[in-house]
A and B are shown apart, each in its own frame.
Chain A
Amino acid sequence: LAKTTQPISMDSYEGQEVNITCSHNNIATNDYITWYQQFPSQGPRFIIQGYKTKVTNEVASLFIPADRKSSTLSLPRVSLSDTAVYYCLVGDKAAGNKLTFGGGTRVLVKP
């Protein structure tokens, strides 16, 4: 299983950009990197997914270097409602696509 490592927590202020880096040194060739957001007492919500280079959608950007051993989720101009736990996951194709959640990063956006 490709294990991921993220910072435990990050604080930010409204309007700032938040960048969360995830390490996944053992990522396999066919694995994709997926980020989820979770609010308290809710199921995780899909944010973005990528394989290499850069991916951008209406919510976030995902930067993946050439070696794919890490990835950075970028949240532009965060608001208070972006306070949540963010999980970085790497798909495990060999195990039927089951996902192994790491500890996640608790992001607190302050006014």
Chain B
Amino acid sequence: GAVVSQHPSRVICKSGTSVKIECRSLDFQATTMFWYRQFPKKSLMLMATSNEGSKATYEQGVEKDKFLINHASLTLSTLTVTSAHPEDSSFYICSARIPPAYLAGAPRDTQYFGPGTRLTVL
């Protein structure tokens, strides 16, 4: 089945530094990827939609200058948390939209999720 990976799985950084999180589709090309954030015991919140070769679309309330998204290839999207602060500590999860031609009979409008990245800002 479709596999989406994330790296790193866990990162601890000092306040004020920038952290880059990678999201890869391992066995398919993903023109669209999504980035979510999840706080403890809360649901996933969509942050932005990452489109290959174009600018990301951010959800309302998400600072585009703080959460930089780059989708430079069909298998890689990166999220950079710039000047991270303790309140940015969270679980960041990416997903990739499955192309219709990828799997015969594949579910429609389905996203496959990465394993997540736990960010802790000290």
A-side interface residues toward B, CB under 8 Å?
Answer: 31-32, 34, 36, 41-46, 49, 87, 91, 93, 96-104
Closest 8 CB pairs of A and B: A91-B109, A43-B113, A49-B107, A101-B44, A101-B43, A44-B113, A43-B93, A43-B116
Docked Cα-Cα span, A87 to B20, in Å, equals 28
> B interface, by DSSP: helix, strand, loop or mixed?
strand
Cβ-defined partner of A41 (8 Å) among B4, B95, B114, B118:
B118
Contact between chains at B111 and A99 (CB < 8 Å): yes
Mask for B82-102, Cβ within 8 A of A = 1, else 0?
000000000101010100000
Interface residue total, chain B, C-beta cutoff 8 A: 26
Contact (Cβ within 8 A) A43 B114: yes
Which residues from A are CB-within-8-Å of B110?
34, 46, 49
